[in-house]
Chains A and B, each alone.
Chain A
Amino acid sequence: MSPPTAVSSGAYGTFEASDPGVLIPLMQATQEEFGYLPRPEVARIADYLGLSEARVYGVATFYNQFRLEPLGKNYIQICSGTACHVKGAAEIFSVLRAELGLDDASTTKDGLFTIDSVACLGACSMAPLVNVNGEFHGHMTAQKALKLVRDIRAKERKGA
């Protein structure tokens, strides 16, 4: 366990409660800490800034970055920007969903994987692009993406 940060111990020290502009940075810091925005944390932020919970949720749900569900252990983002789309990103997405047995959900039941599509990772020349746990993989194909996922799964099995 990592030591409690300012956020997890509820001491929002560097975030001035009187400055309404800190709402989003505070939610970002919380999400970085927990991987998502847990309900009690949202309540705590609202309380700290003197806002209603509804107001905080309103902001949280407006932005794509915030998630209200926990993230899987491995986080895969499939770029669906223009350059990646033209080069076949949709197929990669559907193949990975099938491989992981995902229908509407984005996280597998065992909590090992979350997959998401994102609009442009900013390395369009390498399209199509997949981001696995923060590492970019360029010039993807459905086959290569399958291998990435299978390798992670094999590693997880060995580790388990």
Chain B
Amino acid sequence: MNSNKEITTIIVGTGTCGLAAGARKVHEYFADKIEESSGPYVLKKTGCLGFCTMEPIVDIEIPGWPRLSFGPVTVENAELLWSMISEGAELPREFVLGAHADPEGILELHDVPILWETPFFRNQTRLVLKNSGIIDPESLEEYLESGGYRGLKRALDLSPVEVVDEVKASGLRGRGGAGFPTGLKWQFAHDAPGDEKYVICNADEGDPGAFMDRSILEGDPHAVIEGLAIAAYAIGASKGYVYCRAEYPLAIRRLTDAIEQAKEAGFLGENILDSGFSFELLIKKGAGAFVCGEETALIASIEGKRGMPRPRPPYPAQSGLWGKPTNINNVETVANVPFILADGAEAFRKYGTEESPGTKVFALTGNVKRSGLVEASMGMRLRDIIFDIGGGVQGDKKFKAVQIGGPSGGCLPEELLDTAVDYDSLVAAGAMMGSGGMVVMDEGTCMVDVAKFFLEFTASESCGKCLPCREGVARLRETLNGIVRAHRDESPEESLLRFQGVTMMEELAEVIRDSAACGLGQTAPNPILSTLKYFKDEYDAHVFERRCPAGVCTALLEYYIDPELCTGCGLCVRKCPDDAILGEKRHPHYISDEKCIRCGTCRQFCPFGAIKVR
């Protein structure tokens, strides 16, 4: 579709990723230019297109031309774009990403590809992300133009039971991790007795390495509001909460504004669209606790308590917030709902597999060429996501593993790259869908270090209520710390304990998995179990040869100073936190291996590159 606009429009992607890459300066640049020129230009914002590697991304709509995307648009590149717009200068082809369409073949002449046919996009299926990075998330009109609130209108023409049935028929499963059928969950909440019920949207997104939910909230907040209103109507709730991480200020702001707009337009509040149905939506800011992503802990947190999970049953559908029937769904789950209601369950089932219909959004990051948000049809192979869409490993390093599912998931090796991405296949392979974090790791990553990283995380986030998680995970962490500790720092007793720990590690992991009270503890051993299963050699090298093949576990390395390069400036001496560097001014220094704690700080500070590791 060519732009039907009469005025040239500049659209700057200002999601969190864009801002981190410098979009604010670019936006200011265009704002200044437009003011100076006093010409007829429109400057707008949009959410995240998902192609984070190319941020900041700027779209241009010139009358009569299709919409074009450019990236990365640094301030220098913005100048080139501005001369194209204002003076008709040549299209800067080096950083054009593509045209959103090209019905008349205008751009083919200029050698500009269609954006959706370029490698990052061509194998994606964008249902949930269809508006993200396209529409202005602060504009209700643009959401409506793209078909917004059609789902809610249709839902209100149906009975609540019919809405539940439609969602059941779609086969939608929870995108928050476990993959529980959403329609069934709604049915439980609908059937539970009581007139006071709640819906909650889980936007706690605790997986460190995932940002799908943030992008959806920033890029298409009305989709979440619409989905929640439909859920509330289906189960009979008149009040709902979005529980959002406090680390996402922009998402909270956009959602707050969108709620106001929806209220004003009659999509929220009293007697919505004259249907007699009323629904109030509030935002609750999280306070930084991973375990609060777990539904019962989340409820405790909304109630003003410490966020500790409680045993289920009773499930929230029976007894949730303030003891009332409550339905909890993840942001992405909710964002799928408007489409299902608007276009019907059958339309949704065209995507994905029989058991896992639809799509899943992944945050593809780590050592991958093209990173960003990727929405793939369920059932796609991991290889296609990482190598086709992501372009493979960055630099000329070799692929080593992909971590899926965050602290509850696992690391899968090259041999398993043909695994299909759906709930059941991933669990069978020893990972899990989790929230959708997908971190690619190259040969420079140490798997023992990765396992240790997650264990540190879960140990510090354990709420401490049940023993297997509180003590067991701490013991696992201790064991891993022992493995990466240098032999010279160990007493004979510690050496013995290290070996004992290693031999018991797998058993302990299994006990925790089987006996912890909530999902956090039950899945905490997964990072260890999966790396032990697929990267046993690497553990062996650490345990028996006391070396880290990837060169990551610093305690197993030795730092030394190259006397040829050292000028004796003494900077490293001052920076060393443990007084481990000795020497006279203007003479080569040396590092005391006894004292060195291998923090690597001196290496960063040395202006001459004289500090080396072996």
**A interface residues, Cβ below 8 angstroms from B:** 20-25, 27-28, 58-59, 62-66, 80-83, 85-87, 91, 94-95, 97-99, 103, 118-127, 129, 134, 136-138, 142-143, 146
Contacts and interface: CB of A to CB of B under 8 A. Distances in A.
6 contacts: A64-B289, A85-B453, A95-B605, A98-B577, A124-B365, A127-B366
Contact of B601 (A85, A98, A126): A98
A103 B306 CA distance: 30
Given A95-B605, A125-B372, A65 B208 contact: no
Nearest to B21: A138
A21 B445 contact: no
A136 B20 contact: yes
B301 interface: yes
A138 B56 CA distance: 12
Contacts of A83: 208-209, 365-366, 437, 439
B287 A66 contact: yes
Nearest to B307: A62
A136 B56 CA distance: 13
Contacts of B575: 98-99
Nearest to A143: B604
B16 interface: yes
Contact of A81 (B209, B286, B287, B288): B209
A87 B366 contact: yes
Given A65-B246, A83-B366, A86-B439, A21 B210 contact: no
Contacts, number: 144
Range class of the B interface residue count: 35 or more
Given A58-B306, A122-B205, 8 more contacts: A21-B302, A63-B288, A83-B208, A86-B441, A119-B206, A123-B17, A126-B52, A136-B19
Contact of B304 (A21, A80, A142): A21
Please report whether the interface of chain A is mostly helix, strand, loop or mixed according to DSSP: helix
A75 to B, nearest CB: 13
B267 interface: no
Contacts of B247: 118, 120-122
B613 to A, nearest CB: 12
Contact of B285 (A25, A62, A64, A91): A25
Given A125-B365, A142-B604, A119 B21 contact: no
Residue in B301, B365, B371, B445 with the greatest tally of chain A CB atoms within 10 Å: B365
B248 interface: yes
Nearest to B599: A94
Contact of B16 (A62, A123, A137): A123
B288 A65 contact: yes
A21 B289 CA distance: 17
A99 B288 CA distance: 27
A86 to B, nearest CB: 5
Interface string B304-323: 11110000000000000000
Residue in A119, A120, A122, A136 with the greatest tally of chain B CB atoms within 10 Å: A122
Contacts of B249: 134
Contacts of B366: 82-83, 86-87, 127
Contacts of A23: 304
A28 B288 CA distance: 11
